[in-house]
Chain A
Amino acid sequence: MKSLISFSVGLIFAIGLGLSGMTQVQTVKGFLDIFGNWNPALLGVMIGAIGIHSIFYHLIRKRSSPLLETKFHIPNRKDIDKKLLLGAALFGIGWGWGGICPGPGIVASLSGNYYVITFIISMISGMIFFKLIEKKLTNI
């Protein structure tokens, strides 16, 4: 049942990304191109998604547990470390350079565009590389 829920969530999420234009590199790059011909679409997505989820989040967290699990798995860290900011900076550079982040990349990967497939293979390589050197990064 949990797997069926997560399948449906993935499906709805993908349709939302496609409808909003986030599955196109030009929309994402256009949002980040504030010195050029700025495209505010991504701001609309953030407003829609955060607007809805911030209401539901607080309603759902009034429950003692989710419907299909015994407890919530929500990160509760509050510390600001260098990894958080360095990781966000590296992600931001890659996101702007390619115009793709993980969700839209996966959604668009079966469209037959070799550039998107290249991006996804490289993204997974970057993740595997991180896992390999993760233990050496503890003193950052």
Chain B
Amino acid sequence: MMNAILGGILIGVAVSIMLLFNGRVTGISGIVAGAISPAKNDWFWRMTFLLGLLVGGLLLKIFHSQSLEQISSAHFGDYIFAGFLVGFGTLLGNGCTSGHGVCGISRLSIRSILSTITFIIFGIISVAIFKALRGGL
């Protein structure tokens, strides 16, 4: 639990740096969406952010590889289904765990609070159904 809170603090510091310097919300689904259909002069910072995530992932792979080990009963098709819903749903609902769950709740946005409650409830239902079908997480 201590690692989770420490990791959360790092995330809180990261999104605060983004706000202080660039004046932006660190909403990852929105940053990806803007990177794949860019507006003028609004592309490069998104790509370097995503590059930062990837380099961070490589550092984790080198120094803390157990943090990237996945244990699940999910099949190949499950990830196609899940990924598509995550991509479509986050754009329809204007955000994901970072934009609504961290940044939005921190500024007490009513939309973000309702979004976060909704995706957690549907996530709980989804995991319950998944477990019933696949026999594990």
Query: Do these two chains really belong together in a complex?
Result: yes
Q: Is A72 a contact partner of B23 (Cβ separation < 8 A)?
A: yes
Chain B at the A interface: mostly helix, strand, loop or mixed?
helix
Task: Write the B96-137 contact mask toward A (1 if CB under 8 angstroms, else 0).
Answer: 111011111111111100111011111111111011000001
B119 surroundings in chain A (CB, below 8 A): 88-89, 91-92, 95
Contact with B along A66-83 (1 / 0, CB 8 A): 111101111101111001
CB neighbours of A6 from chain B (8 A):
18, 22, 45-46, 48-49, 52
Q: Do the beta carbons of A21 and B53 come within 8 Å of each other? A: no
Interface residues on B, range: 35 or more
* Interchain CA distance A15-B82 in the complex, whole Å: 24
Counting contact residues on chain A (CB < 8 A from B), the size range is 35 or more
User: Could you tell me the distance in whole angstroms from the C-beta of B88 to the nearest C-beta in chain A?
Assistant: 4
Total A-B pairs in contact (CB under 8 Å)? 492
Of the candidates B15, B69, B108, B123, which one forms a contact with A95 in the assembled complex, judged by CB atoms under 8 Å apart? B123
Q: How many Å from the CB of A79 to the closest CB on chain B?
A: 8
Taking a contact as CB atoms under 8 Å apart, the answer to whether B122 and A93 are in contact is: yes
**Chain A positions within 8 Å of B8 at CB level:** 16, 20, 44-52
Asked if residues A23 and B67 are in contact (CB atoms below 8 Å), the reply is yes
Give the docked Cα–Cα distance between A8 and B19 (Å): 13
Output the nearest chain A residue to B52 by Cβ-Cβ distance. Answer: A10
Closest B residue by C-beta to A81: B111
Please measure, in the bound complex, the distance between the C-alpha atom of A77 and the C-alpha atom of B115, giving whole angstroms: 13
**A121 to B137 alpha-carbon distance, docked (Å):** 22
Q: Which residues of B contact A103 (CB under 8 A)?
A: 28, 53, 96-98
Contacting residues, chain B, for A51 (C-beta < 8 A): 8-9, 12
CB < 8 Å: which of A24, A30, A122 contacts B70?
Answer: A24
Question: Are A30's CB and B12's CB within 8 A?
Answer: no
Inter-chain contacts of A50 with B (CB < 8 A): 8, 12, 102, 105-106
Q: A13-B11, A19-B67, A24-B68 are in contact. Are A125 and B96 (CB under 8 A)?
A: no
The answer to the question of A54 belonging to the interface, with a C-beta cut-off of 8 Å to chain B, is yes
Contacts of A66 in B (CB 8 A): 19-24
CB distance from A140 to the nearest CB of B (A): 8
